[in-house]
Amino acid sequence: MKRIDKRLPGLVLLAALAAALVAGFVPGSAKEPTSARVVRVVDGDTIVVESSEGTERVRYIGIDTPESVKPNTPVQCYAKTASHLNEALVAGHTVTLTYGPEKRDRYGRLLAYVATEDGVDVNATLVERGAAKTLEIKPNTQRASKYGELEAKARNMQAGLWAVCADAHN
């Protein structure tokens, strides 16, 4: 009869935890929505939040607003309006952050779908009002078709940047 090493279950658990960390999994935060308070609106698609995990910069998944604070880049058409709309939606409020498969971008920012306390999808609202275009970056494309439909509708209705920015259709 073979004898089983009593350390084996512990070693298996340790190996599984190591593999999870290498894959980017952090217990308690992988794909579970997180509640956070918005402490600053950076621009139309980026905020700074405070939660039990600390203070983090959050980049909205699936959308891109014109640049207003990017270094060495002039303020783009509709950037300030997009930033003000984002501010009106979330500044000082508690929001829910829902993550895609990839939780951080190359700059270390959290990537999230953002919803207000009353369930408004902020990312979708910015697209719907013509303050943002869609931006698909795999693997975070869960809402891409929904956002694409909203963008087409905003473009057809000449909402927001679609009405005033000459380069909007590029």
Positions marked active-site:
59, 67, 109
From residue 101, give the alpha-carbon distance in Å to each of 104, 132, 166: 9, 22, 35
Q: Residue 72 in contact with residue 117, Cβ under 8 Å? A: no
Q: Is 144 exposed, middle or buried (0-12, 13-18, 19+ CB in 10 A)?
A: middle
- DSSP 3-state of 69: coil
